[in-house]
Structure formats: structure tokens, C-alpha cells
Amino acid sequence: MSLPVDTESYDYRFMKTLNEDVQLTSNEYGEWDIRVENGDYVNVTGMHSLLNACIIAIMTRYNELSTNPTYNGFGCRVHELVKDNTTTMTEYKMETFIRETLEQMRRVHLINNVNVEKTESNKFKVYFTITSINDEIATGGLLL
């Protein structure tokens, strides 16, 4: 049995190059999980799928999945810096690691912007804007 798909949606019909995936959702604490409605996963396509992929890549520690050769080198090194003392250099390194991760994604054509901001609760808000391989612009964000 496969996930229900809206085959009439614009994303499904015209953005298949961006793939499809289960939808991720976050809470106010920055924790991510798979979205479930009526006891089933929610499927996303097109730009939503691309944003999901970006978030998964950023939230996965670098080489965490290296036991599977397919994922060798997958993930983001930003996790090495989360507990470091916050300086402008730390924020710059975080931005650089996120950029490197997004650049490795085949579905991302151009990284327009990556912004890392420290919050009052010693966490980091990350905002990014990318252009996909089919020239659509997407904006995403997450809390580290």
C-alpha cells in the first residue's frame, strides 16, 4: 500500500524532478517528526519535498549514516558547533557548513541565502532560500 497522493496538484504534475517524500513537521522546541493525519503519513511533492530533504540533510550529523555506503559523506557538520561558545566565527562556520550541505544536493541549483541567528534561549535559528533545479525558489528554516 502506498501513501495517498494528490495526482491533480501542481507539484505532482509539474515538479516530479523534485521527488516526493513524507512530510516533516516541527514543534516550538525545534524537534522534527513525520506528520501523521488520520493514522497515515502525509505525502508531499515538489518544493515541499525539496524543503524536507534540505531539513533532513541539515539535521543529520555528518557521516551518521556511513554504515550504508549510499550515504557516505551525507549530513551536516553544523552539529559540531552547537555547544561551542557563540562568536561571530561560530555563526559563520555554521552558515558555511549548512551551505556546503545544501550545495551537495542534486535538486538544489543555487543557494540564494543562508542566515544563522542566535536566540535568547541559546539556540540557533537557521533560515535559507534556495533555487531548485527547475528554477523555483523555496524558503525554509529550522531551529538548532
Q: What value, to the nearest 5°, has the Cα angle with vertex 75 and ends 20 and 110?
A: 65
Question: How many independent structural domains does the chain possess?
Answer: 1
pLDDT at res. 3: 56
HSE-up of residue 111 (Cα within 13 Å, Cβ side): 18
CATH number at 95 reads: 3.10.450.40
Domain hosting 81: range is 10-143
Grid cell digits, residue 67: 554504515
**Of 108, 94, 96, 117, which is closest to residue 139 (Cα–Cα)?**
108
Residue 4 placed within a domain: no
Q: How far is 32 from 143, CA to CA, in rounded Å?
A: 10
Residue 5 placed within a domain: no
Residue 3 placed within a domain: no
Q: Is the pTM of this model over 0.85?
A: no
**Of 142, 32, 123, which is closest to residue 82 (Cα–Cα)?**
123
User: Which residues, in sequence order, are CB contacts of 20 under 8 Å at separation 6+?
Assistant: 5, 12, 43, 44, 45, 46, 49
**Of 12, 15, 30, which is closest to residue 107 (Cα–Cα)?**
15
Contact yes or no for 93/112 (Cβ under 8 A)? no
pLDDT at res. 77: 92
Question: In tens digits, what is the pLDDT along the chain, a chain of 144 residues?
Answer: 455 666 676 666 556 555 677 778 877 777 777 788 888 887 777 788 888 888 888 888 888 888 888 888 888 998 888 777 778 888 899 999 999 999 998 888 899 999 988 887 778 888 999 888 877 777 777 666
pLDDT at res. 1: 47
**Of 43, 15, 13, which is closest to residue 135 (Cα–Cα)?**
15
pLDDT at res. 114: 93
